[in-house]
Amino acid sequence: MYRRTILCFRGQDTLNAFQRGMCCLMRRYVSVRSEHDIKNFIIDNTEIVSAQSLTPEISLRLFTPTCRFWTERPESWPFPDPYWAIYWPGGQALARYLLNNPEVSGGRKVLDLGCGCGASAIAAKLTGASRVVANDTDPNNIIGSKPDDWDLILLGDMFYDEDLADHLHKWLQTCITTHGTQVLIGDPGRAQFEGHDIRKLLHKLACFELPDSVKDENYGLTNSTVWCYNYKPDL
- Tens place of pLDDT per residue across the chain (235 aa): 223 333 333 344 444 444 444 444 444 444 446 888 888 888 999 999 988 899 999 999 998 888 888 887 777 777 777 778 889 999 999 999 999 999 999 999 999 999 999 999 999 999 999 999 999 876 667 887 888 999 999 999 998 888 888 888 889 999 999 999 999 999 999 888 888 888 899 999 999 999 998 888 888 789 999 999 987 766 4
| Rounded distance between C-alpha atoms, residue 225 and residue 232, angstroms | 22
Write down the pLDDT at residue 3.
31
Write down the pLDDT at residue 139.
61
Q: Where are the alpha helices (DSSP H) in 32-159?
A: 35-45, 89-100, 119-126
Write down the pLDDT at residue 33.
66
Write down the pLDDT at residue 233.
65
Q: Where are the alpha helices (DSSP H) in the chain?
A: 14-27, 35-45, 89-100, 119-126, 162-179, 191-194, 212-217
| Rounded distance between C-alpha atoms, residue 176 and residue 47, angstroms | 38
Write down the pLDDT at residue 34.
80
Q: For residue 72, how many other CB atoms are within 10 A of its CB? A: 11
Question: Strand, helix or coil at 156?
Answer: strand
Q: Dihedral sign, CA of 1, 4, 152, 117?
A: negative
Question: Strand, helix or coil at 206?
Answer: strand
Write down the pLDDT at residue 32.
42
Write down the pLDDT at residue 37.
85
**How far lies 132's CA from each of 28, 36, 113, 127, in Å?**
23, 26, 11, 11
